[in-house]
Structure 1
Amino acid sequence: MSSFSHAWRALRHRNFQLFFFGQSISVIGTWMTRLATTWLVYHLTHSALLLGVVTFSGQIVSFLLGPFAGVWVERFERRQLLIWTQAAAGIQSFALAALTLAHIITLPEIIALTALQGVINAFDMPGRQSFLVQMVEDRNDLSNAIAINSSMANGARLIGPAIAGVIVAVYGEGTCFLIDGLSYFAVIASLLLMHIKPLNLSRSKATMWEQMREGWDYVSTFRPIRTILLLFALISLLGYSWSVLLPLFAAQVLHGGAATLGWLMGASGVGALTSALSLAFRKTVVGLTRMLQVASAMLGVALILFGLSHTFWLSMVLIALVGFGMLQAASVSNTVIQSLVPEDKRVRAMSYYTMAFFGASPFGSLFAGALADRIGAPHTVMITGALCLAASLWFTFELPKIRAIIRPIYQQMGLIPAT
C-alpha cells in the first residue's frame, strides 16, 4: 500500500465516506457563520470585550452540560441523535439569517442564539466523536479517521472564511447564515444514507449521577488521560482566545476589513489543514505524546510573534503556524485518548474532552476580550502565548511518567513489541 493510499485508508468504509462528504459541506457553512458572527458583533459594538462575551455565551453552555451530555448520549442511538442535533443547528442558522437579513438583529439575540448553539454542541460533539467507531469498523483505521476528519474540518476552515469574507463584503452577514442553514441538509442526508449496525445499548442500573461520577473517577485517576486533558484545557484556555481578537487585528493592527479577517482565518486554516494531513500520513499512534509537547510549544512561540507583527504577510505566516500548533494539539489529544479509553467509557471520556475545549475556551475568550480592552489585542496575545509555552514545559516533565503507563497498554494492543 502506498503512503498516499494509506493516508486515506479510513475512506474505504462506505459510511465514513458518506459522513466525510456530507460533513465537508456543512462545516464550510459553519466556518462561514463563525466569521460572519464575529464581524457582525464587531460591526455592531466595536468592542473586544463583547466579542469575548458572545463567544463565552456559546461555549459556557457546552461546558456546563458536558458531563450530563456524555451520560445521556451513551443511552441513545448515535446516528438518530446526530440527525436531531444537525437539524437543530440548521434551524439556529436560519433564525440568525432571518433576523440579520431583516436588519433587526441585536446583540442580545446574537448571544441567545449562540447559547442555543452551545446546547446543541454539548450533545453533538461527544456523539459525533464516539460515532466514528461505528462508521469505521476496523479499529486500526480509527486514528486515521480522526486525522481525516480533522483534515476535512480544517479544509473547510480554509475555504469557509475566505468565501465568507467576500460574501460579507458584498451581500452582508445574513447571506452567510442562510448558506450555513442550507448546508446542514448535506450532512443529514449522509447520515440517512448510512447502513449502521445498531449498538447494544445496555441500560445501566446506575443512575445518571452515578454514571457521571464513574466517568469523572476514570478520567481524573488515570494519569495519561488526566494529564492530556489538563494540557488540552490549558491550551484551550490560553491558546484559542486569539480567534476572538482577530477582528481587532484585521481592523486596527493591519488596517483592513472583513476580507482581511477572512484571509487571516483562512491562513490559520492552512496551518491546521497541514497539521491534519501530517497526522493522516502517520501509521501509528505511538509517539504522538511527543508531538503534543512540540505542538503546544509551537503554538506559544507563534502567538508571541503574531502579537509583535504589524505586517500583513508576516501575520499570515505566523497565524498559519498558530493554526498548525492548535490543531495538532487538539487532534493528538483526541487520538491518544481514543486509543486508550475502554469502549464502555468512551462517550463519557470524550464528553470531558469536549468540556476541556468548551469549558476552558469561554473563560479564555472572556479573559482575552477584557484584557485586550485594557492593554490591546497584541499584548494580550503575547501573554497567552507565553502561558502556552509554560504549559508545554509542565507537560515535558510529565511525559516520562505517562509514557511508562501507556507503553504496556500499547504492547497489549500489539502497537509496540513486548520487551
Structure 2
Amino acid sequence: MRIVRSFIYNSSIFRSLKHKNFRLHFTGQSVSLIGTWMQRVAISWLVYRITGSTFLLGLVTFLSLIPSLVLAPYAGSFIDRHDKYKIVFITQIGLMVQAGILALIVWLSYYNIMMIATLSLAQGIINTFDTTARQSLMVDLVDNKEDLPNAIALNSSAFNAARLVGPAFAGFILSAFGEDICFLINFLSFFFVIACLLQMKLKIREREKSDENIWADLKKGYDYLRESPDLSSLILMLAASSLLVIPYTTLLPAIAKDVFHGNATTFSWFESAAGLGALFGAIYMAMLRPGKDLNQLTIFSSILFAVAVVCLGFSSNIWVALIATGFTGAGLMVQNSTINTYLQTHASSEMRARTLSYYIMAYQGVLPIGSLIMGSLAERLGVSAIVFSEGVAGILIVIGFILHQRKLHDGNWMRSMNPLRFRH
C-alpha cells in the first residue's frame, strides 16, 4: 500500500496529492461534486418535465448563477479581508441545508416553480462566496507552489469526473426513484466534505485589517485588472463565451427530449458525454509540464469548443451529437483551466481573490444572462438553430481575441502574456 501511495504521489499527474491538505480537499470535493451534479441534472429535468418551457429552464439557471455577476466582485473583496477556510466551511453547510430543503419539498410533491426558483437563487448566492473562497484557498493547500498548476488541473478533473459519474447515476435514479432521491444524495454528500474540512491543518497568514471601505477595495481590484491587460483580456474572452456559447449546456434537456425524443436517461447521456470529454481535458491539463504555451492552448481549446458546438447544433444522429457533446466538454474544460491557471499564478497575492472573483463573474455570472436569452430564443427559433448559432459565435469570439492580442501587443501577441510554459 505504501509503495502504491508513493508511486501516485511521485507521478507527474498526481504530484499535488502528496500535500495532505490538498488531498483532503480533493477527496471531499470528489464525493460532494457527484451529489452536486446529480442535483443539477435532477433540477433541470424536473423544471422541464413540469413546465415544458425552455424559457423557465433558462430562468432557473439564470437565478442560480446571476448572483455571481452581481456579488462576485464584492465577494472577492470580502474574502481578501477574512479567513477563506472559515468561509468555505460555512458555505458548505449552507449548500447542504439548501439541498435538504429541496429534497424535502420534492419528496412532499410540492412542485412549486416559485419555491424551486427561490432555492436556486439561494444556492447561487452561497456559491458565489464558496467558489471564490475555494479558488483563492487553492494556493494555501499545496506547500510547493510549483505544484499549484497540477492541483488546479486535478481539482478540475475531480469536477469533471463527477460530471461524468453524477449524471449517469442521476439518469438511473431519476427513472427508477425520482428527483427527490437525487437531492437527498446531494444533501448526504456534504457530510463527507465537511468531515474532510475539519481534518485540515492550514497555516494561512493573517491579513492586516484594512482601514479602507470594502467598496474602495473592490475598486482597487477593478483598477488592477484594467492595468493588467494580460489578465483582463482573458476574463473578457471568457465573459463573451459565457454569454453566447456556454449557454448551450442549458438547452441539453431540450435537445434530449425534443430533438432526439428521449427521456431522463437520454439527458444523462448528454451530460455524461460532456463530462467524459471534460475529464479527458482535465487529465491532459494535469499531465502538462513546463514547455507548453498556455496562450496557444487557450486559443486551440476555444476553437475546438466552438466547432464542437456547431456540430452539435446540426447533428441529426444521436451518436454524432453525443460525440460532439464530448468534444464540447473537452474544449470548454481546457479553455477554463488554462485561463484559471494563468490568473492564479500571475495575479498578486493581495489581489488574487479579487481577480478570481472577476473570473467567476465572467464565467458563472454572465452565463445566466446568456442562458435566459438563449432559452427564450430557442422557444421561438428552435433548439438546434440556436445551438448552431452559439457555435458560430464562439468562432467569432476567438477571432476577435486573436485580433485584439495582435493590436494590443503590436504583432507580438504570441509572447504578449509572458505565458507559463509546459511540456508533456
Q: Would the TM-score normalized by the shorter structure come out above 0.5?
A: yes
- CA-CA distance at 1:399 after TM superposition: 3.9
Distance 1:127 1:2 in 2: 28
Tell me whether 198-207 or 67-76 shows the greater mean CA deviation.
Answer: 198-207
The structure 2 residue matched to 1:383, chosen from 379, 386, 389, is 389
**Which residue of structure 2 aligns with residue 323 of structure 1?**
329
**Which residue of structure 1 aligns with residue 340 of structure 2?**
334
| Residues 181 and 3 (structure 1), Cα distance of their counterparts in 2 relative to 1, 3 Å cut | closer
Tell me whether 56-65 or 256-265 shows the greater mean CA deviation.
Answer: 56-65
Distance 2:380 2:161 in 1: 35
| 8 A Cα contact 1:3 1:281, kept in partner | no
The structure 2 residue matched to 1:302, chosen from 287, 305, 308, is 308
- CA-CA distance at 1:328 after TM superposition: 1.1
**Which residue of structure 2 aligns with residue 6 of structure 1?**
12
**Which residue of structure 2 aligns with residue 79 of structure 1?**
85
Is residue 183 of structure 1 aligned with residue 194 of structure 2? no
Is residue 219 of structure 1 aligned with residue 230 of structure 2? no
| 8 A Cα contact 1:250 1:256, kept in partner | yes
- CA-CA distance at 1:77 after TM superposition: 1.2
TM-score (norm 1): 0.95
| 8 A Cα contact 2:9 2:15, kept in partner | no
| Residues 338 and 198 (structure 1), Cα distance of their counterparts in 2 relative to 1, 3 Å cut | closer
Indicate the SS of the match to 1:39: helix
The two structures, once aligned, show a CA RMSD in angstroms of 1.7
- CA-CA distance at 1:397 after TM superposition: 2.2
* 1:146-161 correspondence to structure 2 within 5 Å: 146-161=152-167
Structure 1 residue identity aligned to 2:138: L
| 8 A Cα contact 1:240 1:361, kept in partner | yes
Distance 1:404 1:243 in 2: 33
**Which residue of structure 1 aligns with residue 373 of structure 2?**
367
The structure 2 residue matched to 1:252, chosen from 249, 254, 258, is 258
Distance 1:202 1:12 in 2: 31
The one-character-per-residue Cα deviations of 1:83-107 (angstroms, maximum 9, x if unpaired) are: 1000000000000000001001311
Structure 2 residue identity aligned to 1:262: S
Is residue 42 of structure 1 aligned with residue 53 of structure 2? no
**Which residue of structure 2 aligns with residue 350 of structure 1?**
356
Distance 2:76 2:292 in 1: 27
Structure 2 residue identity aligned to 1:348: R
* 1:282-293 correspondence to structure 2 within 5 Å: 282-284=288-290, 286-293=292-299
**Which residue of structure 2 aligns with residue 93 of structure 1?**
99
The one-character-per-residue Cα deviations of 1:118-146 (angstroms, maximum 9, x if unpaired) are: 10111011100111111111110111000
Structure 1 residue identity aligned to 2:417: I
The structure 1 residue matched to 2:417, chosen from 383, 390, 406, is 406
**Which residue of structure 2 aligns with residue 195 of structure 1?**
201
Tell me whether 18-27 or 233-242 shows the greater mean CA deviation.
Answer: 233-242
Indicate the SS of the match to 2:11: helix
**Which residue of structure 2 aligns with residue 59 of structure 1?**
65
The one-character-per-residue Cα deviations of 1:157-176 (angstroms, maximum 9, x if unpaired) are: 00000000110111100110
- CA-CA distance at 1:404 after TM superposition: 4.2
The structure 2 residue matched to 1:33, chosen from 33, 36, 39, is 39
| 8 A Cα contact 2:9 2:17, kept in partner | no
Indicate the SS of the match to 2:351: helix
Distance 1:41 1:206 in 2: 44
The structure 2 residue matched to 1:264, chosen from 270, 273, 293, is 270
The structure 2 residue matched to 1:229, chosen from 225, 228, 235, is 235
Distance 1:80 1:272 in 2: 30
Tell me whether 124-133 or 282-291 shows the greater mean CA deviation.
Answer: 282-291
Distance 1:238 1:284 in 2: 33
| 8 A Cα contact 1:63 1:355, kept in partner | yes
Distance 1:250 1:235 in 2: 23
The structure 2 residue matched to 1:313, chosen from 315, 319, 338, is 319
Distance 2:307 2:10 in 1: 31
Distance 2:291 2:114 in 1: 44
- CA-CA distance at 1:285 after TM superposition: 7.5
Is residue 140 of structure 1 aligned with residue 127 of structure 2? no
Indicate the SS of the match to 1:8: helix
| 8 A Cα contact 2:296 2:414, kept in partner | no
Structure 1 residue identity aligned to 2:396: A
Distance 2:52 2:111 in 1: 16
Indicate the SS of the match to 1:158: helix
| Residues 72 and 20 (structure 1), Cα distance of their counterparts in 2 relative to 1, 3 Å cut | same
| 8 A Cα contact 1:10 1:136, kept in partner | yes
**Which residue of structure 1 aligns with residue 21 of structure 2?**
15
- CA-CA distance at 1:359 after TM superposition: 2.0
| Structure 1 unaligned residues grouped into runs of 5+ | none
- CA-CA distance at 1:221 after TM superposition: 2.3
| 8 A Cα contact 2:295 2:417, kept in partner | no
The one-character-per-residue Cα deviations of 1:199-233 (angstroms, maximum 9, x if unpaired) are: 22211122111100000011122111110001111
- CA-CA distance at 1:403 after TM superposition: 4.7
| 8 A Cα contact 1:88 1:120, kept in partner | yes
Indicate the SS of the match to 1:284: strand
The one-character-per-residue Cα deviations of 1:265-314 (angstroms, maximum 9, x if unpaired) are: 00000000000100000013851111111111111111111011121111
**Which residue of structure 2 aligns with residue 239 of structure 1?**
245
**Which residue of structure 1 aligns with residue 210 of structure 2?**
204
